[in-house]
Amino acid sequence: MSAFPSFGKNATFHELKTNDVTMRVVIEGTGPDVVFIPGGDQTAEAYSHQFAHLTKLFRCITYDPRGAGNTVSPPAPWTMDDYAADCAEIIDHFCSGHAVVTGLSLGGLVTQQVAINYPDKVNLAIPMGTSAYIDGFTRDWMQAEIDLRKDGIVLPDYFLAPHYAVYAFPAKALHDPDLWSSLKESYTKRFAHRDPIDLIDQWEACLEFDCRDGLKTCPVPFHVISFSEDVQTAPTMCKEVSDLAMNGSFYEIEGLGHVSMMHHKPEHVANKLIEIISSHLIER
């Protein structure tokens, strides 16, 4: 079993070479362009669940970010500006210079930075499971994960799924025997060969991130999606983003965790994305 379902038979795979980064890009579907930015430790495949629901309505584009998959980039440290510049290159090369941009977790942070740095390239920003900056429990947890790896500690394979899944899914999902069986296998495969330095580099970029001032002057419409059972980025963190944005809207989807959009109930998130994007296109 792979960690994620395959992309559709009409998906195309590309290699984009910029000045110092070579990115693996996946495109599927027809319609308005929507760029999906992967979260921490995730490759393009993380959005295959969403592509399955959305490619009949939208031309969906995603890619491997720095520190994951087959994308090759200069050595870290990386900043959120670097991640935003990579996404801007994707938009320029595959979307005629502008697109709807969305992303979860690290991808949500990048979504915000792309809109702030390149407002003319972003028709609509939909950050999910996100934050304007990271503090409190989430900062302490992420720093502990970083420090653990800097101390040379390697989590054994049998501990990977029980450790990471509790941060990603609600209790009811974890106690569904069939779903847990699937999650256990896929999460073990996903993290078993994860290079510790890649996690460190991605997560440190997140801890350095603070876009509170940029949100206040960014003209791009922000539609921020949160999940009621999200341990990593609680709805209060997401709402601060929408409150700070010049043109912000906030949504809380009940019963979902941080990564429910990928294994648990992807259709719930897909339906919300369709609602938001379709409404924005009508308004335009």
Q: Which domains does the chain have, with CATH numbers?
A: 12-133+209-283 (3.40.50.1820)
> Which pLDDT tens digit goes with each residue over 99-150?
999 999 999 999 999 999 999 999 999 999 999 999 999 999 999 999 999 9
Shortest CA distance to 201 belongs to which of 37, 4, 17, 40?
40
What predicted TM-score, i.e. pTM, was given to this entire model?
0.94
> Which pLDDT tens digit goes with each residue over 244-279?
999 999 999 999 999 999 888 999 999 999 999 998
CA distance readout (Å), 236 to 18, 80, 207, 284: 37, 22, 18, 29
User: Do 237 and 103 meet the contact criterion of CB atoms below 8 Å apart?
Assistant: no
